[in-house]
Amino acid sequence: MKKWSAIRDQTIFVIREVRRNIIRRAKEAEETERSIIQKFWQEQSDGGVIHAFSAELQKVPTQRLLHYLRYLIQVDDLARIQSLRMVFKARVDHRRYEPSFDGMLAQFARAKCGDLGERLVRICRLAQRTDAIIANLLSAQGKINRSCEPTPHQQVEAR
């Protein structure tokens, strides 16, 4: 029994270290992705188009900006996407739509980054899956250990 406990304990230590490395790598990938996306949008700035187009967008409701962004991504109009980004961020109610808006922008920027963007996404997804699997395994192990422990009623009878 002690041998099995030692093996289990060693396995838990190894899994914990692997999990730490996966999480560290995923965080690094997310930081790299954020900086690549931010750099991408900074490089795409075209002041003339942005100001003229921004005036038109002031009349459009915030929720409709999401639909317009989807269209601009499909037609690959970087200058107008950049303008739409600036108008969206200046809106008072933009926080309500921010996750969807930022998600579409990030997906577009990653696609423009090519293979590197895909790799970063893959690292983050695999880290999330691995973390979920490990958490499930450890919680299942905890349930098994608790079910093997004698109940207070059984402990009294054994005495």
Asked whether residue 108 is assigned to any structural domain, the reply reads: yes
Asked whether residue 27 is assigned to any structural domain, the reply reads: yes
State the residue for tokens 């009349």: 59
| Chain segment 23-44, per-residue pLDDT in tens | 888 888 888 877 877 777 666 6
Asked whether residue 134 is assigned to any structural domain, the reply reads: yes
Structurally, how many domains does the chain consist of? Answer: 1
CA nearest neighbour of 84 among 55, 64, 57: 57
Asked whether residue 6 is assigned to any structural domain, the reply reads: no
Asked whether residue 30 is assigned to any structural domain, the reply reads: yes
Asked whether residue 23 is assigned to any structural domain, the reply reads: yes
The confidence score (pLDDT) of residue 8 equals 75
Asked whether residue 9 is assigned to any structural domain, the reply reads: no
| Chain segment 37-93, per-residue pLDDT in tens | 777 766 666 555 566 667 778 888 888 989 989 998 898 888 788 888 888 888 888
Section 112-139 average pLDDT = 78
Residue 88 belongs to domain spanning: 18-158
